[in-house]
Structure 1
């Protein structure tokens, strides 16, 4: 590895409004895997190309469990708890994932379609009554995934207002202080504990009840195991979807010809969802760190055992070797679904199909009900979150 002062720093110092990582995209033109260093000087390697990222995410020699141990390199300001779905390796990971995946089967997700369609219609009724102009973030992109999560978790209707208030303070969706966020985290943890116990005694048709069911080997999860895995699911199920929907609308506003094409060809919406997932950078930190358990060659670069490696799917999704004219947003792109926004391999997002469903329903409804939808203020004036997830705080629209 080159001297530390010659290695790029990861994550790159990007504008919060940037929809791709230009610094590492430039490096991709010369290498598929590059050495880098974290802000504290810790050496890491970054997989940049589509092929290299897929290799890191699918090869069992790249371990999430090793990367989750105390003292392992990390790009987030907190250390991951062990025993969680995203910090395990197979076979332990496989057993827990099978349980969680029961709540996200294609049949289960498709059953939610009519309910989500009605939910979106109600939200857009509220937006129409409030504007124009109206903030589509407040009226649609934030509340939609929260309410879908309520349904998925089986949160009783009478508790949903309180639960939403706590969730929006715990999840990085609002500017609240540390003390307020910690207090909300305590309330939501206490509530989830009561809900977990209630579903143990009175199972329903929801994710928590599914987690109480025996695994294929007859084993059972404990209360603490279930509770610990619910909080990451809340973050993954809400913050990613809401920001992706917001970013998708900004991208279409920047390319109005693509919006007008979807107006003429609404059948293209499912492909547009994948193209927007490919084209828009949701997070600059990639797919979480891995640590090699043995020497492994990736794209001609030999990585020793114990090397910290991060897979930058945001760069791989703009790899011209995988996607011709990769920087261009093209809702007709035939291979858009090859993107790595949801990852790949054992840690492929279990809620990917649900996210696609929410994004597609929301985009279709906006196109149908507000064909003249456009920004109510210059996009250059948007305020962007400067954290793990990229997205605008608000998006005023008119029609």
Structure 2
């Protein structure tokens, strides 16, 4: 428990402690020696020296710098009970520690405590509260804090705006994110690349490819350099909006800007080509990806094989499946289904059935069974087709929904 010192009680304070304890506490905080900082504060309280608000704030800040939000909270409560005069810096440090530890409810409680004590809110403590809301996807609370900050006639900082935009982005509130960005641009503050990244990501999650492209243009008009995150969000938005040409054009813009695309960027571009059946572009992207010394993952192969299937490129699908296994990656049911379908569509039923045997260990779904039965029909493998149908019935897979044809070619009716 924190004890309020009694004047004249105890021994005289050691000279090393009496000399600027706040400065010593800050130094301990910078060195991440939070436990020693608390011991120093305890020594101050055991002596006749009454710590000032700056000393208490420095001790709490030492806990904050090490992510010790519970220790900082405990210290703050003890100091409040001892009736020491605390300034807004002490509460700001405690709120910041809570924000970094995703304790947004505690951070908001500290904001209310500041108001109760009639202390002047500052930009730092409100930014910490908004950031806490952002990390926990509490976008409405973030907007409330930002609005309350402005009602106090305080100018929110760029960090607070960015955190609020990110909160909207995580909750797929793209319109709110764009509204906040517009408000930031009309203020006296200068939006950063982070501001546009968060807004572009919000548009990407909601398939708003046109808005994502406009944000990219606006960013360039402000003479800010778009980064890999900005381009990746815009390319992914184009992929989800089936705008493969825009996605590939943005990839070229990245290269001209001497930015190295990440794997997630390539995956988005390959998926865009898959949606539009541009398998030739997929090959070029795979070559470029390896030239960048990036390693394709299961998402890369899945999109590429699916594109091969839609383009009736069964040989490419088989080559990608072989490459996938050499990379010691485990094919998924969807990947197997796409490769089997690529072979079945091209009349290569032998290959389709070979892939089916390999896919058995993954567990087959209705779509895979459907494709396999089509391959059996194309190859007139009636016995195997009956075996597959019995397997489907045994596993409880719906035979009606897939509208399969039987081994003899007749369409199966409902049971």
Scaled by the length of structure 1, the TM-score of the pair is: 0.19
Higher RCO structure, 1 or 2 (CA under 8 Å, sep 6+):
1
TM-score by length of 2: 0.18
Rg larger in structure: 2
- Say which structure is richer in strand: 1
